[in-house]
Amino acid sequence: MTEADWFVALPKVELHAHLNGSIRDSTLLELARDLGEKGIIVFSDVEPVILKDDRSLLEVFKLFDLIHILTTDHKTVTRITKEVVEDFAAENVVYLEIRTTPKTNNSKGMSKQSYMEAVLEGLKSVSTVAVVFSHGVNEKNPFNSDVINNPSSETQEKKIFVRLLLSIDRRETTEAAMETVKLALDMRHLGVVGIDLSGNPVIGKWDTFLPALEFAKTQGLSITLHCGEVPNPEEIHAMLDFQPRRIGHACCFGDGEWKKLKSLNIPVEICLTSNIKTNTISSLDIHHFADLYKWKHPLVICTDDFGVFSTTLSDEYNMASSAFGLTKRDMFELSRNAIDFIFADDGVKRELQEIFASTERKLGL
Ligand code: IMP
Ligand code: ZN
């Protein structure tokens, strides 16, 4: 088995993946070509933007505005959800939390709720793998089995657990953020387990989102926050004081912020390629992964936006192993430890532990 194949075979847990950042380039180009033919955009202007490799953090948000023009109708949301899950499953991601910002688009008759229904439709239409996206039977969940898509019989052997996080975009108002939290609560029986705060980190104020996040927390939703993507000590301290269950990135922390993070033991979602390509961290030799790993701080390797940054979770593990001198055993343990930080319940955690135990020997460990 080649090195790259070994990292594909390694069972993996993905906890930080934005739906619209995880679209295949080929799909984006197809959607752009379609809109170009309808005269809505000029394809030749858009093609180089989609194919550009390195982008600053600000350019990334411009690209997202373009992606949202291409993707915001129900059929496309369903299609990209299906493809994203199939792509993760193909590289042996066994548990996936997809996060996405519910969107309103009056011209397409789309509400935040119908957007999420289109996402669920995408989960149900996955055909290459069994998708387990809600657990247990209750009065709101009439399914007597937790596998509710319909894979073909040859693929039924393979399964992926999927849970959903609803993102609040930093451009949103308190009311809009609250609407997202209420939607998450209504959709809990369909596999929605938490809330994410994301979007352009230089836009919006923490106090705007706090009421909705507090409400989500008191209702038992799990929270993860994009934290410290730009230097903003006041906001970073306020976010850590909130005590989310996880944070993403933690790139621009000073000594005081590291001290607080470590004493609170909040797990960090690390996205190496995303940090390097957006130049949030200038090179892997100075990436905070090394220090956090050395101190056994809880962390999990993730992709962020595998389409936008042209990466895969297997590549991220492979890269971390070479950049930080970690053995295959270390990488297996790192991947397995991520089970502790998932937002799904203990039943799922137990099943994941079994999957890891049963593949350990096959991986030559
Ligand atoms: P969506 O929520 O499925 O539309 O995924 C794309 C959205 O995720 C973007 O518009 C941003 O709001 C958010 N996002 C993706 N990558 C990043 C990041 O690196 N930092 C902050 N927000 C991000
Ligand atoms: Zn992110």
CA distances from 364 to 321, 331, 333 (A): 17, 13, 14
Q: What is the pTM of this model?
A: 0.96
Distance 145 CA to ligand 2 centre (A): 32
Look at the block and give the residue holding tokens 């939703």.
Answer: 221
* Mean pLDDT, residues 340-346 taken together: 96
Q: Which of ligand 1's atoms lies nearest the C-alpha of 198?
A: 22
Q: Which ligand is nearest to the CA of 103?
A: 1
Residue of 168, 172, 198 to test ligand 1 pocket, by largest number of atoms within 8 Å of CB? 198
Whole-angstrom distance, CA of residue 70 vs CA of residue 83: 16
Cβ of 198 below 6 Å from ligand 1:
yes
Q: Which of ligand 1's atoms lies nearest the C-alpha of 229?
A: 20
pLDDT tens string 223-276: 999 999 999 999 999 999 999 999 999 999 999 999 999 999 999 999 999 999
What are the residue boundaries of the structural domains of the chain, listed by start? 3-23+71-358, 24-70
pLDDT tens string 189-204: 999 999 999 999 999 9
Distance 137 CA to ligand 1 centre (A): 32
Measured by CA distance, the residue closest to atom 5 of ligand 1 is 20
Distance 18 CA to ligand 2 centre (A): 6
User: Predicted confidence band at 145 (pLDDT cuts at 50, 70, 90)?
Assistant: very low
Q: DSSP letter string over 134-166?
A: --S-BTTB--SSSB-S---GGGTT-EEEEEEEE
Whole-angstrom distance, CA of residue 212 vs CA of residue 244: 13
Fold of 3-23+71-358: TIM Barrel (3.20.20)
Q: What is the largest CA-CA distance in the chain?
A: 56
User: What pLDDT score does 146 carry?
Assistant: 57
Cβ of 315 below 6 Å from ligand 1:
no
> Exposed/middle/buried for 324, CB within 10 Å: 0-12, 13-18, 19+?
middle
Q: Which of ligand 1's atoms lies nearest the C-alpha of 167?
A: 2
Residues with active-site annotation:
229
